[in-house]
Structure formats: C-alpha cells, structure tokens
Chain A
Amino acid sequence: MNDTYDLRIAEAHIEVHKFRGGTIAAATIIALFLQTSVPVYFPKFAVLDLPLLLTIYFGLSRRNPSTGLLLGMMIGLLQDSLSGPTIPLGLYGIAKTIVGYLASSIGARLDTEHPIARFALTIIFFGIHQGLIVITRRLLLAQPEGWFTMHLAIGAAVNAIVGIPLFMLLDRLRKN
C-alpha cells in the first residue's frame, strides 16, 4: 500500500470543486462593484464584506492553499486600491491572503459544505480578518485601532448569515 492510496482513502469524501471559466473573476468584479455601489443607496450594506465572503468561499471550495492565498491576495489588493489613499495597498491584501490560505487549508481537511459549518467558519474568519487588520495597523502603520467593537460583532453575524445563501448560490456555479 503506497502513500497515494492512503491519502485517497483518508480524504475520499473531500472533493475539490472547480468552477466554470471566468466564474471567479466575474464574481470578484461583481462583489467589488456591489461593495462600492450599493452603500450609496443603502448605507447599512457597508457592514457586509463581500470580497471577504468570496475569499472564504473559494478558499474552502478549491482546497488548494496556494490558490487560496493568491486569490485572497488579489481580492485584497483590489479592495485596497478601491478604498482610497487612506488605506495603503496591502492592508486588506495581507489579511485576505492569510484568510485565503487558512480557508483552503481547512477546506482540504474538513467537509465544509454544511450551512452550519459555513456559518461558524465565516464568523471565525471574519474575526481573524479583523484581527489581522488591527495587527497590521498597529504594528506596521502605527495606527491605534480597537480590537473589538459591537459594530464588528454585528458585522460578523451579518456576514455569516448572508454567507449561507451566497455560498449556496455560488455552489450552483460549480462544474459537475
């Protein structure tokens, strides 16, 4: 019995999902467009972090840490560049790189298809993402930033709730 066979036995239930061509790019552009446009008319929409939800979803689905971290980096840098000169390039890039890596690493080990698992993981990743941003701000940018606010707690819950139907919608774009 060789190592490959063992690995297949152990992870037989973990399926690596692929998507139709252009799905990831289109979803990213749409998410960034919605993230910047909708709050003009519905300010409360800003509590959602659609680029983060995409990073988590594609990380969990692709289950390849290298792909996950590179995708997270791209989405984060695009978000940085749309956030204006007050947000230096790299702030969200670093946070989403690490979230993408962690999501794809976890996705490769656990079955993350169940809505409750996705809900919990989104809350955890939202917290990690915010923690990384605070660390980057404090250590690299010398900007004092609070660790926890009620706004963040609400943000985590809202993103996790919205993440469930969003992830189900994105599931339909997978290649069978």
Chain B
Amino acid sequence: MVAIPSRHKSLVLLAGVIVLQVLLLAVQIRRDSQGRLIRVWTVGAVTPFERAGATGIGGIRGAWRHYFALQNTSRENERLRHENDTLKLQLNQLQSKAAEADRLATLLTFRQAHQSISMVAARVIGTSADTASQTIYLDRGERDGIRRNMGAITPDGVVGKVIESYRDTSQVLLLTDKDSGVGAMLLESRIQSPVGGVGEPLLSMKYVANDDTVNIGDRVVTSGMDRIFPRDLPVGTVTQIKPGNPFKQIRLRPAANLERLEEVIVLLSLQPLELNKDTSAAEVTKKNAPGPAKTEKP
C-alpha cells in the first residue's frame, strides 16, 4: 500500500470530500431527490429556534409598543394635567393595539370573504439561508393540513407556493424566485402568460407577443391555469415594457409586499380553486382601502 505523505493528507481529504459532494449533487439531479432526510433533520433543529425567535421578537415589539412608547408619551405629557395624561395613555394603548391587529383583521376579512375555500393563516418565521433562493418558512405544517404545491397568498395578492411541508413548519417558494411561476393574465385584455421571478424584487411576464397591447400600470391577475391559484387573484402591476424578440419584456411589481411578509394565508386545497368573482381578493383589498370602493368587471 502506498503511504500518503502527511503534508498531502489534507489535500487528499479535500479531494475526497469534494468528490463526495459532487456525487451527492449528481444523485439529486439524476433522481430528482432533494435529500429530504437531511433537510428534515436540519429544519427540525433550527425551526424551534426560529419559532422562539419570532415569538421573542414579537414580545419585544409588543413591549416596545405597549410600554416604552407609552412611557415616552407620558414623558412628553408630564407638563399636561394628570387627567389628560391618563386619557392620552389610554388612547395610545388602543391605537397601538389597533395597529397591531390591523394585519390580522385584513386576513380575517379576506378569509370571511372566501369561506368556501379552506385556508389557514400562518406566521413567517424564517427565510432562506442563502441569497440565491427566495423562500420563507411558516409556523404551520402538515399537522395544519399544509401540503406541497398549495398556494400561499396575502389579501394583497399572490405570495408563492408551498414547496416543502414538515410536521410543524412549511417552506414557501416566493414568486420572486428564479424557479417560481404562476399562471397569469392581464386584467383588462385577458391576455394570458405565465409570470415568474428573476431573483430580483420585480417579476417577469414572459410570453406576451409584441403585437399585443400592454400599458404601464396594467394590473395582472392569476389565470387559474396553473391549478394552484384561483382566478383573479392580484399578481402585480406592469412597471416596465420593452420590445423583445419574439416576446415583449414585461416587468411587474408584485401586488403582495414580498420583502416584508409577516403573515400569509395558505390555500388548503390541491384541487383547482374558483374564487367568487363578486369577492375577488382585489375587491376585498379595495373595500378595505380608504375611499369609495370600485367594482371591476373582467
């Protein structure tokens, strides 16, 4: 047997470890397997910390809003009479609670408007550990009925789809990820084309012919053709249009704020869904917005 000089042992180890990982990559590509067991272990080890962290951060924010902010307010009002102090403190407390409940109320309104669709609200507890993929972790999983390929939305619009479901957590591929896509169409002209991510904040609408008319500000909604999202959920708004060959290069700003997600709704169905057209998400959002609500007819 040939002895390896000690100074070369680390090089041999390096080569061996790299070859092993290349083989691991090759196996995943060939079998379309994603090493689920290792992921389950790692996610299982880290998500309890994420869950605790989310709860802790929520507590700190709550304490800040409910205690320190009020303390500051009381300092500002020390010059005022004691009765005014008390009233202002109470008012601030109520406003703080109202603001905190606002997002949840919006989710509830949306859910009530679509009672025929089974859905569950989930809190975002983590993101991808790298910058190349756009994924988030939710605090709900298989025990809550979440399965792979279910759609995730907010009352503002489409968020993405569930790509992995664990016992108590699940992972959602955001619409902005390069591997993401959703069946979509322009709200006014009903021109259909998939919309996907490019790894940037803006989305891309891929197959709209140069002859078709598209304007900046046109709204894009789901077409329902992907059999994950129901029709007419807001996807985004056209912000850039460039002529291309053979299709236009169209960029959209996502309807949902994908960079600051704290709660999402998961549609608990793997069957094609139909939204009640009278109460589409766009309209629910509009009804929630200040000012007169408009009714749009596709």
A residues adjacent to B (C-beta < 8 A): 29, 32-33, 35-37, 39-41, 43, 46-47, 49, 51, 64-66, 69-70, 73, 77-79, 81-94, 97-98, 101, 105, 133, 136, 140-141, 155
Q: With a CB–CB cut-off of 8 A, which chain A residues contact B25? A: 88-91, 94, 136, 140-141
B215 neighbours in A (Cβ, 8 Å): none
Nearest-neighbour CB distance to chain B for A27, whole angstroms, equals 14
Contact A89 B28 (CB under 8 A): yes
Task: Please indicate the chain A residues that have their CB under 8 angstroms from the CB of B177 in the complex.
Answer: 86
Number of A-B contacts (CB under 8 A): 151
Interchain CB contact (< 8 A) of A88 among B29, B57, B173: B29
Minimum Cβ distance to chain B for residue A53 (Å): 13
Known: A32-B46, A97-B17. 18 other contacts (CB 8 A): A29-B46, A33-B46, A36-B46, A36-B128, A43-B259, A49-B130, A49-B131, A65-B14, A70-B13, A73-B17, A73-B21, A82-B128, A83-B132, A84-B163, A88-B28, A94-B21, A94-B22, A140-B25
Inter-chain contact A83/B259, CB cutoff 8 Å: no
A78→B18 contact, CB < 8 A: no
Give the nearest-CB partner of B21 in chain A: A90
Docked pose: A158 CA to B126 CA in angstroms: 22
Set B14, B129, B179: member contacting A83, Cβ < 8 A:
B129
Cα-based distance from A133 to B126 in the complex (angstroms): 23
The distance in angstroms between the C-alpha atoms of A90 and B11, with both chains bound, is: 19
Instruction: Name B residues whose Cβ lies closer than 8 Å to a Cβ of A.
Output: 9-11, 13-14, 17-18, 21-22, 24-26, 28-29, 34-35, 38-39, 41-43, 45-46, 49-50, 53-54, 57, 124-133, 135-137, 163-164, 171, 173, 177-179, 259-262
Distance to closest chain A CB from B13 (angstroms): 5
**Inter-subunit contact A141/B29 (CB<8 Å):** yes
**Cross-chain contact of B124 among A40, A81, A93, A155 (Cβ < 8 A):** A40
Q: Choose one: A36, A78, A98; the contact of B137 (CB below 8 Å).
A: A36
Beta-carbon contact of A37 and B126 below 8 Å: yes
A-B contact pairs, 23 of them (CB 8 A): A36-B128, A36-B129, A36-B137, A41-B57, A43-B259, A46-B127, A65-B10, A69-B13, A70-B17, A78-B129, A81-B39, A81-B41, A86-B132, A86-B177, A88-B24, A88-B28, A88-B29, A89-B21, A90-B25, A93-B21, A94-B25, A97-B18, A101-B14
Closest to B35 in A: A89
Q: Does A82 lie within 8 Å of B46, measured CB to CB? A: yes
Assess the B43–A90 pair: CB atoms within 8 A.
Answer: no
CA distance A66 to B53 in the complex (A): 34
CA distance A32 to B54 in the complex (A): 15
A64: chain B residues at CB < 8 Å are 10
CA distance A93 to B14 in the complex (A): 12
Of chain A, the residue at the smallest CB distance from B137 is A36
With both beta carbons as reference points, the residue of chain A lying nearest to B39 in the complex is identified as A81
Query: Does A85 lie within 8 Å of B21, measured CB to CB?
Result: no
Q: Which of B11, B28, B128, B178 is most buried by chain A, counting CB atoms within 10 A of its CB?
A: B128
Contacts known (A33-B53, A66-B10, A155-B131); A89 close to B126, Cβ less than 8 A: no
| A68 smallest CB distance to B (angstroms) | 8
- The distance in angstroms between the C-alpha atoms of A98 and B129, with both chains bound, is 19
> Nearest Cβ distance between residue B179 and chain A, in whole angstroms?
5
Q: A93 CA to B17 CA in the complex, in Å?
A: 9
Contacting residues, chain B, for A94 (C-beta < 8 A): 18, 21-22, 25
Contact A36-B17, Cβ < 8 Å, known A85-B164, A91-B25: no
**Smallest Cβ-Cβ distance to A48: which chain B residue:** B131
Q: Are B127 and A81 in contact (CB under 8 A)?
A: no
A67 to B136, CA, bound (A): 32
Residue of A nearest to B130 (CB): A83
A65 to B24, CA, bound (A): 22
Taking the nearest CB of chain A, how far is it from the CB of B4, in angstroms? 12
Chain B contacts for A73, CB-based, 8 A: 17, 21
